[in-house]
C-alpha cells in the first residue's frame, strides 16, 4: 500500500498555466489518473485528454476528483485551496510558494473545521512509486519499496531517496511537506499514517531548523510508533536570525536550533545521520537487516 495517494487517486489540476500544464502532462505520463483541470475562462476545453472546467465544484461533480494539486499564483492560492476543499476534495497539495503567512493562517483555520488534508504550501508534493505522483517530484528517481519518507526540504528529499534507492531500499510514499511557517499536515500526521500503513516498514524523517515540528514528532515516535525511524536535520551551520531557504527555516531566540532537534530525536531513540548517505545503514541497524 502507500499513504494519501495510490493508483485509485483521481487528480484535479488547479491552474493550467505554464507550470501547471507542464507538470500535468508529466503526472499523467507517470501513470497518475489526472481526470480534470481547472482554469477560469477555459472551461469546456480539453488538455492532454482530460476536460478543463471553470470551477473546482464543477470538476468534482463531473469527474469525481478526490485530490487536487495547485499551480496557482500566490495572490489567488489561498482562495483556490478553499475552493477545492469546499468542492469536496479530500487531499489538497499546494505547490505554490510565497503565500503570505496571514493568508495561510486564514486558510488553515478554515480547513481545520473540514474533512480535508492539506500538503504544503511551498512543497514539491508527494509520490507513491509505481502508483501515482502529485506535484513536481522527478518520478524516475523513486523505487517502489517499504520505506516512508517525509521531509521539510524539497530537493534534499531527492538526495535522501537517491541514497535509499542506491542501497536497495525502495519507498512506499515520499512526501515533501513544505517548509513555510504556517501550513497543512505536520510530521506527526504523516508518521501516524505511515505507522498504520501495512506496507511501510520504516520511516525517514528529514527536518530542518525553525519551529518545533521535529520535537513534536520525536514525542509521537517515542510514545506511539512501533516502526523504526531514522532522521536527518538540515541547517546545522545556520546562524541565528537568518532565514535559510524556507520561510519557516529560521532560528528565533534559543528555539528551533538544529542541536535541539537532533537532541530531541535521539532522546526518542531515533538515530540521526550526520550525512545523508548514512541513512541506509542507520535503518538497517534499526530493522536488523
Block residue for cell numbers 493562517: 105
Are 149 and 44 part of one and the same domain?
no
Residue 94 has pLDDT above 70, yes or no: yes
One domain for residues 114 and 159: no
Average pLDDT (190-196) is 98
Domain that holds residue 232: 142-287
pTM of this prediction?
A: 0.93
Q: What is the CATH number of the domain that holds 257?
A: 3.40.50.261
Is the pLDDT assigned to residue 75 strictly greater than 60? yes
pLDDT at 136 over 90: yes
**204-261 pLDDT tens trace:** 999 998 888 999 999 999 999 999 999 999 866 555 555 555 444 444 445 578 898 9
| 23 catalytic per annotation | no
Q: Are residues 96 and 205 in the same domain?
A: no
Q: Which three cell numbers stand for residue 72?
A: 496557482
Tell me, yes or no, whether 64 and 186 share the same domain: no
CA–CA distance, 165 with 151 (Å, rounded to integer): 16
Considering 23, 39, 86, 246, which one is annotated as catalytic? 246
What is the tally of structural domains in the chain? 2
**At a CB cut-off of 8 Å and minimum separation 6, what does 67 contact?**
5, 9, 10, 11, 12, 89, 90, 91, 92, 93, 134
Average pLDDT, the chain: 93
Asked whether residue 159 falls in the same domain as residue 101, the answer is no
The percent of the chain in helix, strand and coil, each rounded to the nearest 5, is 35, 25, 40
Amino acid at each position: 500500500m502507500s499513504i494519501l495517494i495510490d493508483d485509485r487517486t483521481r487528480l484535479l489540476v488547479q491552474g493550467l498555466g505554464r507550470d501547471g500544464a507542464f507538470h500535468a502532462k508529466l503526472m499523467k505520463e507517470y501513470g497518475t489518473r489526472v481526470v480534470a483541470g481547472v482554469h477560469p475562462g477555459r472551461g469546456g476545453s480539453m488538455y492532454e485528454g482530460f476536460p478543463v472546467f471553470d470551477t473546482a465544484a464543477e470538476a468534482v461533480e463531473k469527474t469525481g476528483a478526490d485530490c487536487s494539486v495547485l499551480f496557482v499564483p500566490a495572490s489567488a492560492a489561498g482562495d483556490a485551496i478553499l475552493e477545492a476543499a469546499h468542492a469536496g476534495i479530500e487531499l489538497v497539495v499546494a505547490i505554490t510558494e510565497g503565500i503570505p503567512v496571514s493568508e495561510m493562517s486564514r486558510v488553515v483555520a478554515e480547513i481545520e473545521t473540514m474533512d480535508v488534508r492539506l500538503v504544503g504550501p511551498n512543497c514539491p508534493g508527494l509520490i507513491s512509486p509505481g502508483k501515482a505522483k502529485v506535484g513536481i517530484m522527478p518520478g524516475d528517481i523513486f523505487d517502489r519499496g517499504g520505506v516512508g519518507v517525509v521531509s521539510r526540504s524539497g530537493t534534499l528529499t531527492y538526495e535522501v531517496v537517491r541514497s535509499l534507492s542506491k542501497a536497495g531500499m525502495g519507498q512506499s510514499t515520499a512526501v515533501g511537506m513544505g517548509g513555510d511557517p504556517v501550513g497543512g499536515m505536520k510530521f506527526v500526521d504523516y508518521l501516524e499514517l505511515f505507522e498504520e500503513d501495512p506496507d511501510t516498514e520504516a520511516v525517514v524523517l528529514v527536518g530542518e531548523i525553525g519551529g518545533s515540528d521535529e520535537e513534536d514528532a520525536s514525542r509521537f515516535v517515542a510514545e506511539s510508533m512501533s516502526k523504526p525511524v531514522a532522521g536527518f536535520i538540515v541547517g546545522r551551520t545556520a546562524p541565528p536570525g537568518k532565514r535559510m531557504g524556507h520561510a519557516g527555516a529560521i532560528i528565533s531566540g534559543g528555539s528551533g536550533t538544529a542541536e535541539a532537534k537532533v537532541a530531541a530525536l535521539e532522546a526518542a531513540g531515533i538515530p540521526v545521520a550526520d550525512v545523508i548517505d548514512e541513512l541506509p545503514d542507520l535503518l538497517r541497524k534499526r530493522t536488523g537487516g
